[in-house]
Amino acid sequence: MRIPDFLISQSGFFDFLDHPMWLAWPFNAGYGEHILPAIARMGFIVLIFAVIIIFLRVLFGPKGRFRDHEMDREAREQTAAERAALEERLARGEITEFEYKILMKGLKD
């Protein structure tokens, strides 16, 4: 009985995948290889994450296309209210000038 060529090629492919180098690909610990391929692999993953982060920053960051401008307005109003409350606390003497300056630095736009 003759074995079809298709089955022979499939068994060769699976033998290739059973090689120890491919068992944990692409996130193996670098066993059986030099350190440079492992570093290059991690560098590639970092590059992919950097592209995703930059893409999201462009879309949703300051002046982004999909940024909710209503939330920006609310944040400016809240900061102005907090500044006014700090000025009132300073006028009443509840906080010192030094504390006032430190707290105002935290409220910068």
For residues 32 and 58, the model is more confident at 58
Residue type, 15: D
Distance CA 91, CA 94 (A): 8
Of 9-18, 47-56, 97-106, minimum mean pLDDT range:
9-18
Lookup: tokens for 14 = 């699976």
- Cα angle value 94/96/100 (rounded, 5°): 95
Instruction: Based on DSSP, count helices (H) and strands (E) in the chain, helices before strands.
Output: 4, 0
Residues 81 and 50 in one domain: no
Q: 């300051």: which residue's tokens?
A: 62
pLDDT for residue 2 is more than 90? no
pLDDT for residue 31 is more than 70? no
Q: Is residue 29 assigned to a domain? A: no
- Which structural domain, as residue segments, surrounds residue 58? 37-67
Q: What is the pLDDT of residues 62-74, one digit of tens each?
A: 888 888 878 888 8
Band the pLDDT of 47: cuts 50, 70, 90: very high
Q: Is residue 24 assigned to a domain? A: no
Residues 76 and 90 in one domain: yes
Q: Is residue 86 assigned to a domain? A: yes
